Structure 1
Amino acid sequence: MRTETSLVRRVGALTLAGMLLASCQTAPQPSPQTAAAVPAAQPSAVAAVSYAPASTAVARGYSELVMDMASGAELSSVNADAPRYPASLTKMMTLYLLFEEVEAGRVSLSTPLTVSAKAAGQPPAKIGLKAGSTITVDEAIRALAVKSANDVAITVAENLAGSESAFASRMTAKARALGLSRTRFVNASGLPDPAQVTTARDMARLGRALKTRFPQYASNFRARSFEHGGRSFRATNNLLGKVAGVDGLKTGYISLSGYNLVATARRGGQQRLVVVMGGKSEASRDAKVTQLIEASF
């Protein structure tokens, strides 16, 4: 996700104290009509809101983690619990909740999702949805997995929960249920917000949960392009087709986070998941992930 908005500039100017204060605000609550469907967040020994980093903190080096996909064992890590902004890695949770809705039968792959003016007005990356139009769940999955489309993320959130804030409450509750104790979501896209925080370790756990719980959607993360409305959108994951065995998963970028990537790879019956957060460029991030993949096999 590549966007520089006035919000990014304002957030970049915040002091550490201000950011900590912002992150300690009460989590958004679901609307009355959706509250019953929102699972209660599980108590955590570590309050996620205490992990909001200063803009200077997220610029120092990488956070990284290498995991064996089959067992979930961590093979190596550096700064894996350092606070980070997830950027579009957020969409892994948006997809996780969408997959759950399909699994529960509350929506199908052919269900049309209505696009609001808010969703249509999101900054890039996007696929250019128009207010009042619709996109099917199947198309939404591909747009999120391949293009990391912000307009689609908000469309999914609003259609499943009534509002993005209600959906974000579900996201954080699901994070707690999955053991992501240092993650807090406040939006469905990963667009800049100082209260939306995570760690490399939490993103590794989420990536593994997403692919192991819902293997039937794996082809979406391997796809190198996505067609919609007569246009072709190239995958944001540059390692697909370039690094042997890479078969997903999700990229992310805002200026405060640096360049993030959760990548999965399979070779000789073994599977690896690599997380790198805080890259100074796409090229340096991709090189780091590639190095870790090669070393892990």
Structure 2
Amino acid sequence: MRNAFHFVAPSLRKVAAILLLISAVAGCSTTSTLNTVEAPEPVSSKHAAIVVDGNGGKVLFQTNAEAPRYPASLTKMMTLYMLFEALEEGRISKSSLIPVSAHAAAQPPSKLHLRPGQSIDVETAIQALAVKSANDVAAAVAEFLGGTEGQFAAAMTAKARQIGMRGTVFRNASGLPDEAQRTTARDMALLGMSLRKRFPQHFHYFSQQSFVYNGKAIRGHNGLLKDVDGVDGIKTGYIRASGFNVATTVKRGGRNLVVVVMGGDSARARNAEVEQLIERYLPSASGAPNLMAMD
């Protein structure tokens, strides 16, 4: 993804005229097309979005896609990446038990309300992260795999660099507020594509709308899964500093997209934007799989 920037030096002799020009330009907007994919800055400074062809990796649309944003619970996409990697490398199994520390149990909601000294199996932990976005489970997984949550966050950041996420820094495993924890819409799209490509056997967890824990049905937050044809993941997120975020994958008729929208004013507005982007750009997506490479 390349952005061209054009700078115009003001004339010192015509300051008044330039101030009028700046005022006029500030009221203008442009329309994004496939050939000119950078859209104007929206009213909300939290907003960012990107649409990527899931087969060919071509960026079909973007706005503020490389501007720093707070990931919120999209962070758990990387937590799950690390958990899936540990499974594939044989370091753990789905029946492995994850101990729950006082630190993990003390995390604020959304959570499973785990207690210190309790344990949770890996299979349930995966579902709790993908469906419920449980912060206590995220912290427990971090300590289980990384020793401490801080050490695990450093490993998450290193993994992000390894897969090409150049604008992301993780400070915790959940996405709970931390001023130093940043990402970009581009990086979240790349992470979504990496999850699907690297772990196709585990990707079905992202399409689950509920799971059973202690005999109780635990329902998820991603309304796109039931409302939009072909959506099969991935993750929603919200903290006050980020607004409403989502990373979404959709497949129809051999075509697929990865869509990331960040900084929505509400879950409904965010989902409506995602649906509009899907309907607009899915017909432009390629129909044949290719190596993952984002332009």
* Pairwise CA distance, 1:72: 1.6
| Contact 2:222 2:236 (C-alpha < 8 Å) held by counterparts | yes
Q: In the alignment, is the contact (CA less than 8 A) between 2:150 and 2:172 conserved in 1?
A: yes
Task: Provide, for residues 151-195 of structure 1, a one-character-per-residue CA deviation record: whole Å limited to 9, x for no partner.
Answer: 000010001111000000100000110111110001000000000
Contact preservation (8 Å) 1:160, 1:167: yes
Q: 1:194 corresponds to which residue?
A: 179
Distance 1:62 1:85 in 2: 11
Matched to 2:62, the amino acid is S
Q: CA deviation at 1:277?
A: 0.2
Letter in 2 for 1:137: V
1:53-107, CA deviations, whole angstroms, 9 ceiling, x for partnerless residues? xxxx994262000011112211111110111000000000000011110111010
Q: 1:110: Cα distance to partner?
A: 0.5
Which amino acid in structure 1 is aligned with residue 147 of structure 2?
G
Supply the distance in 1 between the matched residues of 2:59 and 2:50 (Cα, whole angstroms).
7
Check conservation: 2:46, 2:69, Cα contact below 8 A.
no
Distance 1:58 1:124 in 2: 29
Q: Name the residue aligned to 2:135.
A: 150
* Cα distance in 2 for residues equivalent to 1:191 and 1:274: 22
The structure number with the bigger radius of gyration is 2
Query: For residue 243 of structure 1, what is the aligned residue in structure 2?
Result: 228
Contact 2:77 2:191 in 1 (8 A): yes
1:206 counterpart residue number: 191
Give matches, 1:52-201, under 5 Å. 59-60=44-45, 62-201=47-186
The alpha-carbon deviation at position 217 of structure 1 amounts to: 1.1
Q: Per the alignment, do residues 265 and 230 of structure 1 end up closer, same or farther by CA in structure 2, a change over 3 Å counting?
A: same
Q: Is the 8 A contact 1:84 1:257 kept in 2?
A: yes
Contact 2:46 2:243 in 1 (8 A): no
Q: Write the distance in 1 (CA, Å) between the matches of 2:196 and 2:244.
A: 22
Determine the C-alpha separation between the residues in 1 that align with 2:160 and 2:46: 25
Match of 2:246 among 261, 273, 297: 261
Whether the 8 Å CA contact 1:186–1:196 is kept in 2: the answer is yes
Q: How much has 1:251 moved relative to structure 2?
A: 0.4
Query: C-alpha displacement at 1:230, in angstroms?
Result: 2.1
Structure 1: how far apart are the matches of 2:43 and 2:84? 31
Q: TM-score, normalised by structure 2?
A: 0.80
User: 1:215 matched to which residue of 2?
Assistant: 200
Runs of 4+ with deviation above 3 angstroms: none
Output one character per residue of 1:195-214: Cα deviation in whole Å (capped at 9) or x when no partner: 00011001100111011110
Q: TM-score, normalised by structure 1?
A: 0.79
CA RMSD of aligned residues (A): 1.3
Distance across 1 between alignment mates of 2:91 and 2:202: 17
Q: Secondary structure at the match of 1:272?
A: strand
Q: Which runs of 5+ in 1 are unaligned?
A: 1-56
Matched length: 241
Q: Partners of 2:229 and 2:190 in 1: how far apart? A: 23
Over 3 Å counting, the alpha-carbon distance change for 1:146 and 1:240 in structure 2 is same
